[in-house]
Structure 1
Amino acid sequence: MIAEGKQAVGLNRRSFLVGLAAVGALGLAGCATTGGGMSDADAARIYGPLPNERFPIPAVNLSKLDPKYRRQRVRYDSKEAVGTIIVDPRNYYVYRIEGDGYATRYGANVGRAGFLWSGEAYIGRKAEWPIWTPPKEMIARQPEAAPYANGMAPGLNNPLGARTLYLYQDGVYTLFTIYSTIMPETIGRGVTSGCVGLLTQDMLDLYDKTPVNTKVIVIKA
């Protein structure tokens, strides 16, 4: 990922974010009620630095994150199995079903206007510090991504970040991911071409709890 105010080969991190591609189908709906918010002290602890990662992760600048997007346990009425991931792009949330009428809720960024989608998929594979390869459709829209046609090495500049969950339908990779970001200013916004981003600290929490073949539902926005 690219630190604020810096660029890599003329292509900054925001350009990467708005260029990530995704596909989807089958509109679905959900219902949730919120619980209590996270305290500032807890937020400072949960969103603190991660120095032991392969590429050390900085603390989240909480002044750039609306408190409503902090991770929390909430009431969520769902018949889906424990572990199911539900994406609510209209409200910029990702839920992990915990059972007994509860879910863990994470703030997210989602697809910008014209790139919103809805549907059902599953986690086909997972990756830590993945290589990022821009789809040919993105390169056509953003030629500055062409230098990475054969892949961008892992690291803080890589737009997929520290962890990525890849979504599949019928055995085929959809080009859609749930990825990690160190840019809190993107949470609660539509900035991508359909992919969903969580703060790295939240993504590590979700990633560790999510096995391959986990069901994912994206609610129609």
Structure 2
Amino acid sequence: MSNSPTAVRSLTRRRFLSLSAIGAASVGLSACVSDQTEKPAIVSRPAPKPGPVQYNSMYSAVVDAGYDIPAVPIEKINPRYYRQEVADPTGERPGTIVVDTANHFLYLVLENGRALRYGVGLGRAGFEWAGRAEIKYKQQWPRWFPPAEMIDRRPELEKYRSEYDKANDKWVGGMQPGVSNPLGARALYIFEDGKDTLYRVHGSPEWWTIGKSVSSGCVRMLNQDVIDLYTRVPDGAPILVTSGLRTV
């Protein structure tokens, strides 16, 4: 475990859904959109050390599972949020995901004191959260199931209201996968003590939200970045959400 002085609280959420009321049936639901619009593995694969041209390639348009992901206009994003290998500021063991909410960074801890750093978008005031949990499972091109409370706040989402099919143990309804889906190309589902927190690490088509706090608590990544992270992180990987790590 880290010896960081950063205080770590049990995973919490403010003004949102009560986990005790949700129970096991919550699997599949997610907020993960702005209300304004909407055994850990040892990671040994080295990250690229790109120059400007390689960044263009890193964030170029790509076809993934038949979906056309557009290029990211990287010239409009602060370069600090580009995917890059850095000295690890977390002190966590390799294979751990660490989200630094103060700086809008997500780190994947590597070996030998290194980490991969990605820029992220985070929850706005009132939806902040922190603590230790795990990535219970991952999904490519997931459906989005907005919680009923969100739909009540935003009636235009009514068409995506979902119902839990107990007989088949699954949710029906929601938004079909696609580039415009708020969960993007990949989703990593965050559980604490075996319960779905309803928080996700996920892709987003809204590149302009990277480095900002606009979502309902989820961790947004560029689709090209979340695809990269997905290939490196196994089910059961630990995740720590904290604040104020010293940036390098």
- The verdict on a shared fold, with TM-score over 0.5 as the criterion, is yes
Aligned length: 191
Q: Describe the superposition over 1:116-167 as per-residue Cα deviations: whole angstroms up to 9, x where unpaired.
A: 1111110111111101000122112222212101211111121101100000
**Structure 2 CA distance for aligned equivalents of residues 220 and 117 of structure 1:** 10
1:27 maps to which residue? none
Answer yes or no: is 1:66 the counterpart of 2:82. Answer: no
1:54 maps to which residue? 66
Ranges of 4+ aligned residues in structure 1 off by more than 3 Å: none
Q: Describe the superposition over 1:23-79 as per-residue Cα deviations: whole angstroms up to 9, x where unpaired.
A: xxxxxxxxxxxxxx8522111011111124321111111122111100100001444
**Structure 2 CA distance for aligned equivalents of residues 38 and 19 of structure 1:** 35
Structure 2, unaligned runs of 5 or more? 1-30, 37-48, 163-173
Q: How far did residue 178 of structure 1 move?
A: 0.3
Counterparts of 1:127-142 in structure 2, within 5 Å, are 127-142=139-154
Which residue, 170, 190, 194 being the options, matches 2:217?
194
Counterparts of 1:91-170 in structure 2, within 5 Å, are 91-150=103-162, 151-170=174-193
Letter of the 1:64 counterpart:
K
**Structure 2 CA distance for aligned equivalents of residues 144 and 53 of structure 1:** 29
Secondary structure of 1:168 counterpart: strand
2:33 maps to which residue? 17
Tell whether the 8 Å contact from 1:78 to 1:101 is kept in structure 2 after alignment.
Answer: no
Letter of the 2:52 counterpart:
D
- The change in CA–CA distance for 1:101 and 1:16 in structure 2 (over 3 A counts) is closer
Tell whether the 8 Å contact from 2:144 to 2:177 is kept in structure 1 after alignment.
Answer: yes
2:43 maps to which residue? none
- The change in CA–CA distance for 1:55 and 1:184 in structure 2 (over 3 A counts) is same
**Structure 2 CA distance for aligned equivalents of residues 128 and 188 of structure 1:** 24
Secondary structure of 2:128 counterpart: coil
**Structure 2 CA distance for aligned equivalents of residues 69 and 77 of structure 1:** 16
**Structure 1 CA distance for aligned equivalents of residues 93 and 130 of structure 2:** 19
Larger Rg: 2
Q: Describe the superposition over 1:5-27 as per-residue Cα deviations: whole angstroms up to 9, x where unpaired.
A: xxxxxxxxxx972149xxxxxxx
Secondary structure of 1:17 counterpart: coil
**Structure 1 CA distance for aligned equivalents of residues 127 and 238 of structure 2:** 22
Answer yes or no: is 1:211 the counterpart of 2:240. Answer: no
Counterparts of 1:173-188 in structure 2, within 5 Å, are 173-188=196-211
Q: Describe the superposition over 1:53-107 as per-residue Cα deviations: whole angstroms up to 9, x where unpaired.
A: 3211111111221111001000014442211000011101000000211100000
**Structure 1 CA distance for aligned equivalents of residues 122 and 62 of structure 2:** 24
Secondary structure of 1:56 counterpart: strand
More deviation, 44-53/191-200: 44-53
Q: How far did residue 218 of structure 1 move?
A: 0.2
Structure 1, unaligned runs of 5 or more? 1-14, 21-36
Tell whether the 8 Å contact from 2:142 to 2:185 is kept in structure 1 after alignment.
Answer: yes
**Structure 2 CA distance for aligned equivalents of residues 184 and 38 of structure 1:** 20
**Structure 2 CA distance for aligned equivalents of residues 112 and 78 of structure 1:** 23
